Amino acid sequence: MNWQDIRVSEDSTHFLCDGKPLFGKTFAEVLKFHAPGLAPVKDDTGAYHLESKGKPIYAQRYTRTFGYYCNRAAVMDKGKWFHLDDKGNKAYINTYAWVGNFQENFCPVRDHDNRYFHIGLSGERVYPDSFVYAGDFKDGFACVKTNKGVYRHIDCKGAFLHDREFIDLGIFHKNFAIAKDKRGWHHIDKAGKEIYQARFASVEPFYNGFAPFSMTRKLLLMRRVIKHSLFSKSNLPIDLSRRFYSKTRITVCVERERLLHFRPKCENVG
């Protein structure tokens, strides 16, 4: 049996393969198998990891266990957090107030002084600075919140990618990131520059050239002001039947190329 064929039951209490229960046991909680073929589980004895035949890979029990990423798994033992290697051994000496999951061989952690930074697979700090918050790395970059209360991008050496600061910020996805400034949400490139002038109540990353964005009903009353831009039927890059309404917002998908040429006559569109 291949561990990749193992599924978690709907109630997250046991594992299935081809719809049939595995290992002859139910748990208080199980999470999915991750490479190299290990899964976190919890029962009356505590939290630990199973291999794909249903046997624990170590005798130790923890308060909480999580999935393996980059052959490291986060665990919590009596309020202290750290990582295990794929043999179930502690991956480094230090403990933290919280640890995340490794991505691209780096992991955000929070120390006991409530400072965030990233560590490598052996537990070493990868740069000297600390932050109010630090997120996962993706494609070589991560978002951090500085002591000034603003968000910025850093590279894997902890250097700022650009000099722009934002109220909120997302990781890069296909060369663009979502960012929020005083005017609202938009997309930026790796130089921190806006790729269009519009601002929205919310945006999401581009997916194959399109991105959902939301606007308030206040904007809908202003539609005539910008009717020859995004919302002109002659150039609207969406199927009008695929709009999603709520009581306060409209959400639509817009093609990136249209946004690049969008020059709104109103200050904000959120």
Domains along the chain with CATH numbers:
3-91 (no CATH), 97-161 (2.40.10.480), 175-260 (no CATH)
CB atoms within 10 A of CB 18: 9
Q: What's the CA gap between 238 and 65, in Å, rounded?
A: 44
- Six-digit token pair at 39? 């899964």
Q: What's the CA gap between 108 and 132, in Å, rounded?
A: 11
Amino acid 141: pLDDT: 98
Please determine, for residue 229, whether its predicted confidence score (pLDDT) is greater than 50: no
Determine whether 5 is exposed, middle or buried from the number of CB atoms within 10 Å of its CB (0-12, 13-18, 19+).
exposed
Taking residues 94-100, report their average pLDDT: 98
Amino acid 199: pLDDT: 85
Three-state secondary structure call for residue 219: helix
Amino acid 91: pLDDT: 98
Higher pLDDT pick, 226 / 163: 163
Taking residues 185-190, report their average pLDDT: 93
Amino acid 215: pLDDT: 67
CB atoms within 10 A of CB 218: 13
Please determine, for residue 223, whether its predicted confidence score (pLDDT) is greater than 80: no
Instruction: Please list the helix, strand and coil fractions of the chain in percent, rounded to the nearest 5, in that order.
Output: 5, 40, 55
Task: Please tell me the pTM assigned to this model.
Answer: 0.82
The residues with which 251 forms a beta bridge, in sequence order, are 214, 244
Edge-to-edge strands, sheet with 116-119: 98-99, 107-110, 116-119
Cα angle: 170, vertex 171, 176; to 5 degrees: 95
Please determine, for residue 249, whether its predicted confidence score (pLDDT) is greater than 80: no
Q: What's the CA gap between 143 and 32, in Å, rounded?
A: 27
- Please report which confidence band the pLDDT of residue 255 belongs to, taking 50, 70 and 90 as the band edges: low
Higher pLDDT pick, 195 / 5: 5
Amino acid 198: pLDDT: 82
Burial readout 38-65 (b: 16 or more C-beta within 10 A, e: otherwise): bbbbbbeeebbbbebeeeeeeebebeeb
Amino acid 251: pLDDT: 52
Amino acid 206: pLDDT: 85
Least confident among 78-92, 131-145, 198-212: 198-212
- Please report which confidence band the pLDDT of residue 226 belongs to, taking 50, 70 and 90 as the band edges: very low
CB atoms within 10 A of CB 194: 15
